Structure 1
Amino acid sequence: MRRPLSPARRPATRQPSTRRPSARRPLSSAVLAVSAVCAAALAATGCGNSTAQTRTSAPAVKKARAAQATTGTDVGAVPVPNGVTALRRAPLPGMPPLLDQNDLYAADRPNALSPVVRDFPSRVYVPNTESNSVTVIDPKTYKVIRTIPVGEQPQHVVPSWDLKTLWVNNDLGNTLTPIDPATGKVGRTVDVHDPYNLYFTPDGKYAVVMASMDRELVFRDAHTMKTVKTVPVDCYGVNHADFSPDGRYFIVSCEFSGDLLKVDTAKMEVVAQQKLPRDGAMPQDVKISPDGKTWYIADMATDGVWVMNGDTFSRPTLLPTGKGAHGLYVSRDSKSMYITNRGEGSISVLDFATGQLTTKWHIDGGGSPDMGGVSADGKVLWLSGRYDSEVYALDTRTGRTLAKIPVGNGPHGLAVYPQPGRYSLGHTGVFR
């Protein structure tokens, strides 16, 4: 998220009304169609009440059922409590099969590095939005070893699907800067408009640019970054996402309007949309549970995480965590999730098995923990200090603050690299 919690600490970043005000477009009938996750009953009732309305289309449901029948997948309806039905589908073609059907993060075990990255030096890459640079930290010594000039307002450092490149998202610079994590060499910048954040489809075909101010999801070739399809969205501030276990859909948060979008990966279409049931909500990071049944959406304005069923796109419920809930990170054993509470300098720890919070860690001397990642061995949680020009290293066993490292101004979506996993879905490192 690019805006601070209080005007007194506001960095010189964009506001949603200051750029391309004419970009607002109505959604087409195709965009308003619901995915196969909602059955025909939705056409009459919707997915929720008036404060969390999901748009739907009966023809789209019929088309989805027909498509499933022709591919030989199971078209049996699975009933859910609110009367909505969900359809089971085969995985997205080309997506690597899950190692464990009950654990999406089974490939992310401690030091289980892919042969692609096994010889890469271990580094922490920190984009400084207000310094237009990337700070490189040696995690063994907690020392800054390099500062790389990049484009204007770098927001996130994103590992590519094939793990071979780190992409720096220069949001206001309208470029991506590639870094070779094997050598540290900086490549030629690539022109990409409004790249606030970046994800990759599970089959590795497309990059998905979260064009926040343009109000678009832009599907691009994952290697050349050439535009394949531009999808206008009826919300403000698309920023974070995560993918379903089968890769068939992903859920996107819209921070400035408090919306959630559900997007069909293969069709590259928004198929459902709802507002969070709280005025002023500002959803941030999105993460799915290891068993693929529960979705979590951090919300910095409601000071907690929203919990929902992604298949049915159910009405979310709020789990309070702390002031300014922002980033979500899964432990190496898939048992816990670390939730950064940026407004109070703390990290809440959630137990996936119970869905309950187990403890809360506080950064020594205070801070503003934002985005980050877990070390390859799972022992250290690395986080940017958004408003304090520093990076934090915390012991994941005790929550103890191991280091506070000075960096540039406005550190944001830092990437710990390399990390375990077979491929990257983007952001600061979502691996499967």
Structure 2
Amino acid sequence: MPRRWECIRQRFRWALLVALLASGPVSSGAEIAPAGSSHPAVTVLNDPRDVVVTRDGAYAYVANFGADKLSVIDRGKNEKIADIPVGDGPISLEIASDNSFLSVTHFFSGDVWFLDPQTDAVISKVSVGSSPIVTALTPDDTKLYVGNLMGRDVSVVDTKTYQAMKTFPLGDYPHGIAISADGSLLYVSVREKGAILVINATTGELLKTIETGGFPRALALSPDGKHLFAVDYDSGKLLSVDTNTLAVVREITVGSHPIAVKVSPDGKKVYVVNRGSNSLGAVEIDSAQYSEIPVGPGPTEVAVAPGADAILVAVGGSNHIQMIPASMNVAVSEPEMSEVRPPVAPAPQMKDLASAKPVEEPSPILDDSIRDREAARAPKEAQEPAATDTKVAQPQPERAENESPETTPVAKAASSETGMSILPGTVTGTEKETSPASSEQPPEAGPMIEPSTSVIPSSADDVTSSETSRTPGAQIARLVSPLEGKAKAAGAKVGEMPLGSVNTLFVNEDTHEICALDTQTNKIAARVQLKDRPEGVAVDPAGKYLYVTIRYDNSLFVIDATAGEITARVPVGMYPRAVAVHPGGREVYVANDEGSSISVVSMPEAEVVATIAVGDGPIALVLSPDGNRLYCLNRYSGTISIIDTPTKQVATRATGRSPVAAALSRDGSTLYIADSIDDTISALGIDSDIISSADVGDRPEALAISPDGKQLYCVNFLSETLSVIDAPTLSVIREVPLGRGPSGVVVSPDGKRIYVANRFEGTISVLSAESLETLATIEVGGGPTKMTAVTASEGHVLQ
């Protein structure tokens, strides 16, 4: 009997979000639709990023980026029947036309695994470039093209010999890839140029650059090969390229921040996944009529089943695969399209890609699990709403373009007269691995606090078919340990970490560690080993406890650093990231990325006592020196939420397009904010608008301030530089070259040394603050990211 049919088939229903906030167990049985959709769904593992269907339509494979596993769905039963361990960060899938192989591309381990869909056994593993993110398979299944994000190139893999044949340099960051029907042309969308590159698929020569502007992401070809479709993440449009003239001939407005695109087998419809509006859109190609249906939070990818009987949508925010009939009933809108350019004759440019010079413009890349997985959303389309009197937290509606934001001062918003209601609600964790969803409700999470009615705009921003049989398969080797649940985490030994007077803490994401660096010897002094990938860390004021957010477990770990054991696991919101500790030590604040909220955890009880609604995509937290104000950066809505910590009331201010990091002046009067799309550092008066801004490198990632408050240090992820900024004048003094993928920065307590975590080199660079020369490079491995300086008497949030 096939292994598939030996699997346990019982699964539990996915409850609606409202049901999760209410009491009562979750019933077992057939899957139902999650919140935001009325269609059946199948629960998979953490952060599904891609989905493909076997050519006979019998099974679907799902790449779970956060769980390092594939889920297998029996489409006849709409049921998950297996989870298969694979490599580190599965992100892209392709399946051969005869079902002879399935390719699984891994972002973190930089390789492609080929699996036999009959047995799910590994056939071969092929190393490709740095941070592979997108793939395209030739129509004859003989070559796999792999776009490597940080390598800024394309690897060509021979699928018959399982060998990497060659590499085509791009000089830019690939985000979408497609291959022509005859296999002769390769299309690659790139961010910096805002263009689609047309490349000779054999030689790698650049034939033409199709300028699209904005942020072109996914690509898809029509079945007849006459049209190439691209989605522009920035403008919310579907672009149609005539493959004969190699020109954009039509633009159609779709949803907010489209991220994926597929064409129906008959070529009559184009399906678009809208990340910003949490929807699936459908465009009738002939009429350009657009329709849309909600699918749930954080959709990432779409697949069209053979025969077009169903559309499968991966929903990362709820860890589901939506099963939507191809004849979906949707809201239809009047087409908004334009014939943007007259067709022109193709004019191939035989230019070697290696000599191409990238254009300097903002380049957000993956959100969220390298440095974060989705490019930030523009504020014009995702502003925060006014508070309402509803009984539960509602999805945040978009502000109409002609609606003016209110301009209530911060002081008034923080008063008790904001009309903000305190509402009941709970926060749940997400089940992990292959175990069925728990029927137990999480502990009471305290009141839900809605944001105040004020949105304060900055003066610097307008805010405007062969049959597949299932035979027994072998166990598959792993590159890294799988993500594991934490139901029994309390009491687990994770390693002692006595915090010295001059230690620097940093997160090693790939090896699932929190490490302490002795800054006197420049050696690793201690390691805390976790089963899951840590995201953020903070230390309590007494230097006894570490607080660690586990993004894919939806939890906060409380770790006794001296004893080296987990003392509590606290379920918080969805995708917890940043964490901060009140100077008094009684409260810990956790920013929940997908939940757009802050969980307030009371210590030492280790219980969530309140949940505060903030902007979209909270990613960084900064506390005032007295602990009375908490600043939360919301990267998707381009805002900052200012929370009065005693009353838990909130005021909101516009800050830019994608704020990702912040540092507070020593006197607490000025907040410095790094924006990853604008590529700027802004100075924001805590009770006024933006004072000034300075241009820095490409995609600023982390920010630190010197102990005397005179200098700012900003690491820029894509340009791989350190911007040194004079804080009083906000002028850039110098740009210093760094290692690959700088992701964290901290200044030693005496201000003499700067420490930078180089994510893709597995190193920490030690620089002299005076000369800015590199004093040492420390091999630490494991993908170091966020950093903080810690003393025994003072806890700090990661910078």
Q: Is TM > 0.5 for Structure 1 vs Structure 2?
A: yes
Alignment check: 8 A CA contact 1:52 1:274 kept: no
Alignment check: 8 A CA contact 1:130 1:409 kept: yes
- Rounded to whole Å, the distance in 1 between the matches of 2:779 and 2:584 is 38
Q: 1:188 to 1:408 in 2, by over 3 A?
A: farther
Alignment check: 8 A CA contact 1:133 1:408 kept: no
Provide Cα deviations, 1:49-97, integer angstroms capped at 9, x if missing partner: 979945649996696599xxxxxxxxxxxxxx98xxxxxxxxxxxxxxx
- Rounded to whole Å, the distance in 2 between the matches of 1:386 and 1:402 is 19
- Rounded to whole Å, the distance in 1 between the matches of 2:678 and 2:402 is 20
Amino acid at match of 2:721: S
Could you tell me which of 153, 158, 164 is aligned with 2:544?
Answer: 164
SS in 1 for 2:566: coil
- Rounded to whole Å, the distance in 1 between the matches of 2:414 and 2:555 is 41
Alignment check: 8 A CA contact 2:413 2:651 kept: no
Equivalent residue number for residue 701 of structure 2: 326
Q: 1:139 to 1:165 in 2, by over 3 A?
A: same
Equivalent residue number for residue 789 of structure 2: 416
Alignment check: 8 A CA contact 2:702 2:715 kept: yes
Amino acid at match of 1:403: A
Equivalent residue number for residue 407 of structure 1: 780
- Rounded to whole Å, the distance in 2 between the matches of 1:317 and 1:392 is 30
Q: Quick check: 1:127 aligned with 2:507?
A: yes
Amino acid at match of 2:774: T
Q: 1:397 to 1:308 in 2, by over 3 A?
A: same
SS in 1 for 2:785: coil
Alignment check: 8 A CA contact 1:210 1:218 kept: yes
Amino acid at match of 2:586: K
- Rounded to whole Å, the distance in 1 between the matches of 2:592 and 2:670 is 26
- Rounded to whole Å, the distance in 1 between the matches of 2:633 and 2:603 is 22
Could you tell me which of 286, 292, 296 is aligned with 2:668?
Answer: 292
- Give the TM-score taking structure 2 as reference length: 0.39
Equivalent residue number for residue 717 of structure 2: 342
SS in 2 for 1:196: strand
Equivalent residue number for residue 19 of structure 1: 317
Q: Which has the larger radius of gyration?
A: 2
Equivalent residue number for residue 36 of structure 1: none
Amino acid at match of 1:357: V
SS in 1 for 2:548: strand
Amino acid at match of 2:593: S
Q: Quick check: 1:28 aligned with 2:387?
A: yes
Unaligned runs of 5+ in 2: 1-65, 67-106, 109-130, 134-147, 151-274, 276-296, 300-315, 321-381, 391-400, 419-457, 460-496
Equivalent residue number for residue 199 of structure 2: none
Equivalent residue number for residue 685 of structure 2: 309
Alignment check: 8 A CA contact 1:171 1:195 kept: yes
Q: Quick check: 1:282 aligned with 2:658?
A: yes
Q: Quick check: 1:208 aligned with 2:589?
A: yes
Deviation (angstroms), 1:213: 1.5
Q: Quick check: 1:360 aligned with 2:741?
A: no
Q: 1:58 to 1:310 in 2, by over 3 A?
A: closer
Deviation (angstroms), 1:246: 5.5
Name the % identity. Answer: 21
Q: Quick check: 1:232 aligned with 2:591?
A: no
- Rounded to whole Å, the distance in 2 between the matches of 1:226 and 1:342 is 36
- Rounded to whole Å, the distance in 2 between the matches of 1:65 and 1:362 is 50
Alignment check: 8 A CA contact 1:207 1:221 kept: yes
Q: Quick check: 1:221 aligned with 2:571?
A: no
The structure with the largest strand share of the pair is 2
Could you tell me which of 260, 263, 282 is aligned with 2:643?
Answer: 263
Alignment check: 8 A CA contact 2:715 2:745 kept: no
Deviation (angstroms), 1:156: 2.3
Equivalent residue number for residue 137 of structure 1: 517
Amino acid at match of 2:603: A
Q: 1:151 to 1:254 in 2, by over 3 A?
A: farther
Equivalent residue number for residue 373 of structure 1: 746
Equivalent residue number for residue 385 of structure 1: 758
Q: Which range is displaced more, 165-174 or 293-302?
A: 165-174
Alignment check: 8 A CA contact 2:579 2:621 kept: no
Could you tell me which of 557, 560, 569 is aligned with 1:190?
Answer: 569
SS in 2 for 1:393: strand
Q: 1:346 to 1:156 in 2, by over 3 A?
A: same
- Rounded to whole Å, the distance in 2 between the matches of 1:294 and 1:324 is 22
Deviation (angstroms), 1:253: 0.8
- Rounded to whole Å, the distance in 1 between the matches of 2:682 and 2:403 is 15
Alignment check: 8 A CA contact 1:128 1:155 kept: no
Q: Report the RMSD for the aligned CA atoms in angstroms.
A: 4.1
Equivalent residue number for residue 468 of structure 2: none
Deviation (angstroms), 1:163: 2.8
Equivalent residue number for residue 85 of structure 1: none
Alignment check: 8 A CA contact 2:414 2:643 kept: no
Alignment check: 8 A CA contact 1:196 1:209 kept: yes
- Rounded to whole Å, the distance in 2 between the matches of 1:57 and 1:352 is 26
Higher RCO structure, 1 or 2 (CA under 8 Å, sep 6+): 1
SS in 1 for 2:637: coil
Provide Cα deviations, 1:257-276, integer angstroms capped at 9, x if missing partner: 32222222222122224362
Amino acid at match of 1:414: M
SS in 2 for 1:427: coil
Deviation (angstroms), 1:216: 1.0
Equivalent residue number for residue 428 of structure 1: 798
Deviation (angstroms), 1:372: 3.4
- Rounded to whole Å, the distance in 2 between the matches of 1:342 and 1:155 is 17
Q: 1:336 to 1:63 in 2, by over 3 A?
A: closer
Alignment check: 8 A CA contact 2:499 2:790 kept: no
Q: Quick check: 1:249 aligned with 2:640?
A: no
Q: 1:176 to 1:9 in 2, by over 3 A?
A: farther
SS in 2 for 1:343: coil
- Rounded to whole Å, the distance in 2 between the matches of 1:241 and 1:202 is 14
- Rounded to whole Å, the distance in 1 between the matches of 2:602 and 2:543 is 15
- Rounded to whole Å, the distance in 2 between the matches of 1:347 and 1:375 is 16
Amino acid at match of 2:798: T
Amino acid at match of 2:519: P
SS in 2 for 1:172: helix
Aligned length: 348
Deviation (angstroms), 1:230: 0.7
- Rounded to whole Å, the distance in 2 between the matches of 1:223 and 1:29 is 33
Q: 1:50 to 1:288 in 2, by over 3 A?
A: farther
Q: 1:51 to 1:121 in 2, by over 3 A?
A: farther
Alignment check: 8 A CA contact 2:704 2:747 kept: yes
Amino acid at match of 1:204: G
Q: 1:50 to 1:221 in 2, by over 3 A?
A: farther
Deviation (angstroms), 1:294: 2.3
- Rounded to whole Å, the distance in 2 between the matches of 1:255 and 1:265 is 21
Runs of 4+ in 1 over 6 A off after TM superposition: 2-6, 49-52
